[in-house]
Amino acid sequence: MAAPNPANNGRPTRPVLRQTLSSASFIQDHQQYKPSAPIQTIGNVIGNSPESAFAALSVKANPISPDPEKVTDSGIVHSIFNPQSNELPTGTQQLVATIYYKSADPIHPHLHPDSSPHAGSGQTLPSPMVPVGSAPTVDIEKIPREPPAPEPEPLDHLYGPFVSQLCLTNFLQIIETLPTPYQRTNTSHRCLDRHDQPRVVEVTFSPPPNPDYLTFEDLRKHESIWRFEREWNVEVVLQRESVFRRHKRLVVFDMDSTLIQNEVIDEIAKFIGVEKEVSEITARAMNGELDFSASLRERVSLLKGVPADVFEKLKSIITISPGARELCKALKTLGCKMAVLSGGFQPLAEWLAEQLGLDYAHANHLEIDPTTQTLTGKLVPTYPIIDASQKRSILRSIAAEHGIPISQTVAVGDGANDLLMLHAAGLGVAWRAKSKVQLEAPTRLNGESLVDVLYLLGLTKDDISELIA
């Protein structure tokens, strides 16, 4: 056997496997690769003089610090965040999320009657409910016979009936997880109505998600945001931040079930006893199940013989929606042009425009027999039917007439015949809309007062009070 090389005598012993092919300590085996460190004792650390004690206890005397002659700092900091200030390029797009707490509809867990101390004899579990806007219909009989999806745990009854700090934190966490690839987000927020227990909070964040991975339209309907709304009992309206978001110049409204709480054609039907037939057709048309023009003609035909002065009688029973007067007054003070575009009828649209100070009123014209002064059951053929496409056309024509960019327009409606104008406007709001409309509209609100629309323009409660004073 060859003699060992004397040049290797000064090398450290290489690690070898033991006879059992394993070591009692993985760490112990691999310590052989590291240079031996001098052993520090308590005597080395605590010297006789105060100076030596101070030096020994200084940071540089840390007994486990590496040898400075062999280990140097590379100067590179490894972190998922930029250690410097998160400066964004000038002109980076911002998004604004207006979060409304649904104070009129607090969510509480359904307790089993057996576990409730207030349960009465014979009390049963509550009937299953379909959340508004989560399905094309809220009729439980039309839902497929499948187990209902588990609802998120309602959190507003735990953390308070308002937009809490934890609610905001959860929202920002969701926003941070949406962009792909990851990018750190700058955020800020404002309480628009009150600072303690706010109902409306505006959150601004940038940059928006990369549109190559998540478009703005998909972000508005993202499943994570929908679940967040259900958990915290809130509604989120997303908009692109710009000067046109805050300064609108044209606002158009639907009339029935928007500016007023009634469906006018249903009210007329009560006079002649065909309310049920007309109401069924109206509901299907507003849900988009029937062609609007065809259904309108069918309903109008049932009104044949109704006295022409029926509209005067209806004025006393028409209920203007809560907040409609305040909303229109504030918009008028800001200098906005306003219009009502209704699939209803012209006499009431003109009356409502006078009540609310609107600039335009467009609706359908019913034909009147001049001899009998009764409705003929037909529409005046020289006037166009105010259907979905006509509403969109009127919106665009009024904007063009006043030189208003479409981005400075707002449309508010509740029916399927409003969807085209909601998508055409700079901001389209489905107000307490039918389920299908809530699913398809750009944004939706289900509050108690139409004044909530003003918060979407960035106005605060104090601003609104000043405008309507």
* Residue 329 reports pLDDT greater than 80: yes
| Mean pLDDT confidence for 250-277 | 88
Kindly list the distances between the CA atom of residue 319 and the CA atoms of 256, 262, 275, 308, 341, in Å, as whole numbers in the listed order. 10, 7, 18, 21, 18
CATH (one of 3.40.800.10, 2.60.40.1150, 3.30.565.10, 3.40.50.1000) for 250-263+321-468: 3.40.50.1000
**Model confidence, pTM:** 0.74
Confidence of residue 276 (pLDDT cuts 50, 70, 90): confident
Tokens at 234, concatenated: 């809130």
| Mean pLDDT confidence for 288-300 | 83
Q: Is 248 helix (H, G, I), strand (E, B) or coil?
A: coil
* Residue 115 reports pLDDT greater than 50: no
Per-range mean pLDDT, top range of 76-80, 185-189, 214-218: 214-218
Q: How far is CA 434 from the centre of its chain?
A: 17
The C-alpha torsion from 445 through 438 and 264 to 330, rounded to 10°, is 30
The Cα–Cα gap between 394 and 379 comes to 19
Looking at the DSSP bridge assignments, the partners of residue 206 are 186
Kindly list the distances between the CA atom of residue 452 and the CA atoms of 102, 200, 289, 310, 436, in Å, as whole numbers in the listed order. 11, 9, 29, 33, 22
Strand order in the sheet with 250-253: 360-364, 337-345, 250-253, 409-413, 427-431, 443-445
β-bridge pairing 443-445 and 427-431? parallel
> To which H or E segment does residue 224 belong?
helix 223-232
Query: Over the stretch 14-34, which tens digit does the pLDDT of each residue have?
Result: 555 554 444 444 444 444 444
Q: Any idea which residues carry the catalytic annotation?
A: 254, 256
Number of other CB atoms surrounding residue 419 within 10 Å: 23
Architecture label for domain 92-102+153-241: 2-Layer Sandwich (3.30)
Residues 6+ apart with CB under 8 A from 176: 184, 185
Q: Where in the chain is the domain with CATH 3.30.70?
A: 92-102+153-241
Whether 318 and 262 have beta carbons less than 8 Å apart is answered as yes
* Residue 108 reports pLDDT greater than 60: no
Q: Which pLDDT value is given to residue 31?
A: 44
Q: Which pLDDT value is given to residue 26?
A: 42
Higher pLDDT, 130 or 231: 231
Q: Where in the chain is the domain with CATH 3.40.50.1000?
A: 250-263+321-468
User: To the nearest whole number, what is the mean pLDDT of the chain?
Assistant: 81
CA-nearest of 268, 282, 279 to 311 is: 268
Confidence of residue 406 (pLDDT cuts 50, 70, 90): very high
Query: If you compute the radius of gyration of the chain from its CA atoms, what whole number of angstroms results?
Result: 35
* Residue 150 reports pLDDT greater than 60: yes
Whether 293 and 284 have beta carbons less than 8 Å apart is answered as no
Tokens at 175, concatenated: 């926003």
